[in-house]
């Protein structure tokens, strides 16, 4: 039983809610009366409500984000209908702005906007003492980081064994990119590095090996970044994995030398390019040295083992399809391991809203508030780009098609992949739930039908890819490749097909 429950819906089980752990760590004398209960989006609202009420809580706090607000709205509505006396407190970025128009805010008893580390504890003390503040919307107090207790002891053994451990050496961001809520920050604030690294050492000693830093600007302070990298270099083993989000145009030699020492599979760097169009960069207040960013990305691919994940966004104000395509082709030339194609979203409170009328920005009224059309890209074209992004994840970012991908991209990557994307959708009317064997068959057919590849060339490339994927089926393209002119060979068993597959892949 717990007087205070902290809960949220994560996208996947292997995610862990860092924010909830901060709230519990800073409850002071109330910590023993609190419990964290995490769910995932696939859980049914009624089952979540049942699990929460089994704890007989007085206060339930929800972490609300763009990806879970619809589901949590249903949970809160049901919870208040069944046991209206339970006090519901909301927090998180989705309810920290434009509160008045949100159904979930109307259902709740209290909302803490912004930083909740200290303010949630203060509210709980009042509520458990029988006091009910008259003000529903409470502006969260932002204390100095020295006044916030670090939460990492609250990762339990199951978290350490099975989940990403989210950590942060700093909060905030000095940059003003208008699509991001961090544009509202005045600066970045570092935690005490000695205390932080001591917490990381304790986690590592308990068996933690997957550390995902959520800092917006990991390499802003080079001395601090270097110390963190040195910390993990001193603890290298075959299970360690560390993820950082980096500023791509700020990579001095000090950091390069440290990054180059990480062996394959241990370090992932996420770099946000978003757009190469200088006019669009200026329009969204994104300060960026493209030439330096390109040089650094090229260096990382040539001289480090870091897995390089680079972000682009389509739908930015004033950027048309040709400009986005040119940026995509430029990034392809730098050969990152992954290109994450993001769809512009109008986050509540983000300054990007100021461009809505001038640039014909039309967003979905429902979370996650994706861009539907702009003055440069109409709705049908935006739908094509959305499908492009999905198929790109399935084919390129999945890593399952290393031999086929160069055949697809040729010398005009954006144009050719968009053509394949259009063809795939015309053939399937699906962008999800395409079985792996069917996907290989579709890519094979697309290579032959619209990419100008011969059947033999497509078959050999995809056979190598299929063998490397570890799949054990027998896709139709492979059976056809085995049979040649002898149609009776199409009846070969899956095991025979798999043996031929290994032969073709060799």
Per-residue pLDDT reduced to its tens digit, 184-228: 988 899 999 999 999 999 999 999 999 999 999 899 999 999 999
C-alpha 410/C-alpha 118 separation (Å) is 55
Mind listing the pLDDT tens digit for each residue in 355-394? 999 999 999 999 999 999 999 999 999 999 999 999 999 9
The more confidently predicted of residues 241 and 101 is: 241
Is pLDDT of 497 > 80?
no
Is pLDDT of 482 > 80?
no
Is pLDDT of 423 > 90?
yes
Is pLDDT of 467 > 90?
yes
The predicted pLDDT at position 496 comes to 42
Is pLDDT of 253 > 60?
yes
pTM equals 0.91
Q: What is the mean pLDDT of the chain?
A: 94
Q: With CA atoms as reference, report the closest residue to 462 among 498, 505, 495.
A: 505
CB atoms under 10 Å from CB of 439, counted, come to 19
Is pLDDT of 244 > 70?
yes
Confidence band, pLDDT 50/70/90 cuts, at residue 413? very high
Question: Could you give the angle at which helices 436-449 and 413-428 cross, rounded to 10 degrees?
Answer: 120
The predicted pLDDT at position 480 comes to 82
Is pLDDT of 505 > 80?
no
Domains with residue ranges and CATH for the chain: 4-145 (3.40.50.2300), 155-377 (3.80.30.20), 398-506 (no CATH)
Mind listing the pLDDT tens digit for each residue in 67-123? 999 999 999 999 999 999 999 999 999 999 999 889 999 999 999 999 999 999 999
The predicted pLDDT at position 486 comes to 35
For the beta sheet containing 4-10, the strands, ordered from the edge strand earlier in sequence to the opposite edge, are 34-40, 4-10, 59-63, 87-91, 110-113, 137-139
The predicted pLDDT at position 281 comes to 97
Q: Which residue has the tokens 């089926």?
A: 473
Burial class from Cβ neighbours inside 10 Å (0-12, 13-18, 19+) for residue 333 reads exposed
Residues in the chain: 506
Question: Could you give the angle at which helices 476-483 and 436-449 cross, rounded to 10 degrees?
Answer: 60
Q: What is residue 9's three-state secondary structure? A: strand
Mind listing the pLDDT tens digit for each residue in 283-317? 999 988 999 999 999 999 999 999 999 999 999 99
C-alpha 275/C-alpha 248 separation (Å) is 12
């Amino acid at each position: 039983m717990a007087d205070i429950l902290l809960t949220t819906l994560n996208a996947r089980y292997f995610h862990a809610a860092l924010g909830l752990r901060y709230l519990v760590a800073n409850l002071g004398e109330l910590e023993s009366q609190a419990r964290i209960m995490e769910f995932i989006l696939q859980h049914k609202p009624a089952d979540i409500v049942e699990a929460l009420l089994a704890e007989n809580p007085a206060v339930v706090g929800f972490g609300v984000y763009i990806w879970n607000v619809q589901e949590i709205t249903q949970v809160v509505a049901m919870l208040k209908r069944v046991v209206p006396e339970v006090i519901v407190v909301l927090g998180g970025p989705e309810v920290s702005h434009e509160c008045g128009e949100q159904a979930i805010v109307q259902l709740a008893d209290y909302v803490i906007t912004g930083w909740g580390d200290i303010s949630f504890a203060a509210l709980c003390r009042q509520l458990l003492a029988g006091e009910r503040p008259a003000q529903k919307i409470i502006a969260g107090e932002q204390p100095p980081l020295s006044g916030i207790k670090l939460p990492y002891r609250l990762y339990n053994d199951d978290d350490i064994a099975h989940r990403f451990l989210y950590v942060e050496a700093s909060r905030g961001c000095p940059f003003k990119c208008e699509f991001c809520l961090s544009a509202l920050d005045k600066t970045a604030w570092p935690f005490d590095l000695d205390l932080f690294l001591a917490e990381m050492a304790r986690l590592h000693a308990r068996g933690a090996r997957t550390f995902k830093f959520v800092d917006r600007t990991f390499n802003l302070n080079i001395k601090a970044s270097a110390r963190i990298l040195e910390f993990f270099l001193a603890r290298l083993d075959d299970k360690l994995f560390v993820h950082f989000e980096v500023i791509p145009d700020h990579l001095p030699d000090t950091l390069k030398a440290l990054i180059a020492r990480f062996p394959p599979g241990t370090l992932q760097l996420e770099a946000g390019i978003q757009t190469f169009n200088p006019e669009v960069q200026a329009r969204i207040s994104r300060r960026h040295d493209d030439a330096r960013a390109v040089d650094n990305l090229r260096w990382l691919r040539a001289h480090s083992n870091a897995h390089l994940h680079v972000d682009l966004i389509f739908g930015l104000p004033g950027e048309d399809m040709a400009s986005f395509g040119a940026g995509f082709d430029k990034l392809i030339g730098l050969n990152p391991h992954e290109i994450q194609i993001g769809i512009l979203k109008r986050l509540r409170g983000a300054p990007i809203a100021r461009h809505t009328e001038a640039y014909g920005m039309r967003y979905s009224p429902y979370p996650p508030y994706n861009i539907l059309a702009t003055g440069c890209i109409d709705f049908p074209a935006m739908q094509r780009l959305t499908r492009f992004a999905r198929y790109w994840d399935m084919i390129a970012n999945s890593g399952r098609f290393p031999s086929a991908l160069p055949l697809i991209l040729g010398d005009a990557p954006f144009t050719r992949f968009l053509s394949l994307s259009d063809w795939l959708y015309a053939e399937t009317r699906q962008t999800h739930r395409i079985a792996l064997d069917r996907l290989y068959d579709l890519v094979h057919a697309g290579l032959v039908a619209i990419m100008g590849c011969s059947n033999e060339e497509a078959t050999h490339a995809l056979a190598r890819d299929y063998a490397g994927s570890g799949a054990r089926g027998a896709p139709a393209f492979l059976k056809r490749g085995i049979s040649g002119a002898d149609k009776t060979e199409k009846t070969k068993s899956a095991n025979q097909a798999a043996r031929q597959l290994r032969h073709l892949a060799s």
